[in-house]
Amino acid sequence: MRNIAVLTSGGDSPGMNAAVRAVVRVGRAADLNVFGVRRGYEGLIHGEIEEMSNSDVSNWVNSGGSKLECARSPEMYELSGQQRAVRNLREHGIDGLVVIGGDGSFRGAAKLVELGAHVIGAPGTIDNDIPGIDNTIGFDTAVNTLTYCINQLRDTAESHQRTFVVEAMGRHSGHIALHAGLSGGADIILVPEIAWSQQEVVAMVESRISQGKKFHLIVMAEGAGEVIYNPDYDAYDLVKYIDENTPATVTVRGCMPGHIQRGGAPTAADRIYATRCGKAAVSALLRNVNGVMVGELNGQMVEVPLENATQGSRPIDRELYDLAIEVS
């Protein structure tokens, strides 16, 4: 192996830059030439590929977003786009590619492997929804950001005896909601993996009122809906329902921090994890391993076949959920 490339794909996540930095520096230390691909698969298909030096990634460890830029690439879903991507890798003499992204990006990576490319995935998504590993790059930062938002809302909730419904990101999964809900001391946590109903939420609020509780913090995962997963139901739908079904003394507000959760400087934990993932990805390429995602499981770096990493979603930690309810 002489030449490797790295790209970031799907939604950006804090720590992606630290992972690219590690790929560049670990790769170059192993005498590889390292190329950066701009705009994910879009850039791979359209030949936006440039060699990177160690100084190109100076000051990247601490920055959020993706300096290589991310994209969602419609062409990559087509065989013709995938073939163009593989052709571009060959034309640039690239023997190995590191794809930093989420499960969608890994589905794309698996297609490139089928067409003869050598690809390793590194888990870059705030959602922490990838099966086979315990953590994704950016999750810790997103949880900390949402915890901060809950803290801020708590002040007004307490001062005005209000009920707040805060919506967490996470696509189809409730990991951010659960972790930030627990760390922010939420009173009610609603995730798409565990069925709930609006009536139950109102009953919980009323029960809390009867216990003398004056304000209520509810964290609801994006798409948590009323049953398992409903993309058309958001925090404001629940606000409306609570407002219409509780006494006038209960005042309810909604808050959607949205993409604020995806931005910002990565936490120390995300920087360290991203660096370990970058190193593990280069190490896999050097050992001629192909078609796997690197990531952490039970404290160890592991390699998971891309087909396993793209099957279903990582389940919610039921014990942690029960604990969050127990202490609320």
Residue 46 touching ligand ADP (CB under 6 A): no
Q: Which tokens is 106 given?
A: 């890994």
Taking the complex as a whole, the smallest distance from the CB of residue 63 to ligand ADP amounts, in Å, to 19
Which does residue 324 touch among ligand F6P, ligand ADP, none (CB within 5 to 8 A, set by kind)?
none
Q: Which stretch binds ligand ADP (CB under 6 A): 96-104, 145-153, 206-214, 315-323?
A: 96-104
The one catalytic residue in 127, 187, 234, 270 is 127
Which does residue 105 touch among ligand F6P, ligand ADP, none (CB within 5 to 8 A, set by kind)?
ligand ADP
Taking the complex as a whole, the smallest distance from the CB of residue 74 to ligand ADP amounts, in Å, to 7
Q: Which is nearer to ligand ADP, 262 or 279 (CB)?
A: 262
76-82 long-range contacts, Cβ below 8 Å, gap at least 24?
A: 76/41, 76/42, 76/45, 76/108, 76/111, 77/108, 81/41, 81/45, 82/108, 82/111, 82/112, 82/115
Q: Which residues contact 152 (CB under 8 A, 6 or more apart)?
A: none
Q: Which stretch binds ligand ADP (CB under 6 A): 89-97, 104-112, 161-169, 232-240?
A: 104-112
Which does residue 164 touch among ligand F6P, ligand ADP, none (CB within 5 to 8 A, set by kind)?
none
Taking the complex as a whole, the smallest distance from the CB of residue 168 to ligand F6P amounts, in Å, to 8
- Scan residues 52-91 and list those touching ligand ADP (CB under 6 A): 72-73, 76-77
Q: Which is nearer to ligand F6P, 236 or 328 (CB)?
A: 236
Which does residue 234 touch among ligand F6P, ligand ADP, none (CB within 5 to 8 A, set by kind)?
none
Taking the complex as a whole, the smallest distance from the CB of residue 181 to ligand F6P amounts, in Å, to 15
Taking the complex as a whole, the smallest distance from the CB of residue 277 to ligand ADP amounts, in Å, to 15
Taking the complex as a whole, the smallest distance from the CB of residue 281 to ligand ADP amounts, in Å, to 15
55-59 long-range contacts, Cβ below 8 Å, gap at least 24?
A: 56/24, 57/17, 57/20, 57/21, 57/24, 57/25
127 is catalytic: yes
Q: Which is nearer to ligand F6P, 213 or 259 (CB)?
A: 259
Task: Please give the C-alpha separations between residue 277 and each of 81, 122, 161, 215, 270, in angstroms, as whole numbers.
Answer: 27, 6, 45, 42, 10
DSSP 94-151: --EEEEEE-HHHHHHHHHHHHTT--EEEEEB-TT---TT-S--BTHHHHHHHHHHHHH
Q: Which is nearer to ligand ADP, 110 or 157 (CB)?
A: 110
59-62 long-range contacts, Cβ below 8 Å, gap at least 24?
A: 60/17, 60/18, 60/20, 60/21, 61/17, 61/18, 61/21, 61/271, 61/275, 62/18, 62/265, 62/266, 62/271
Cβ-contact 167, 239 below 8 angstroms: no
Which does residue 126 touch among ligand F6P, ligand ADP, none (CB within 5 to 8 A, set by kind)?
ligand F6P
Residue matched to tokens 């190109």? 56
Residues that bind ligand ADP (CB under 6 A): 9-11, 41, 72-73, 76-77, 101-105, 107-108, 111, 125
**Residues marked as catalytic:** 127
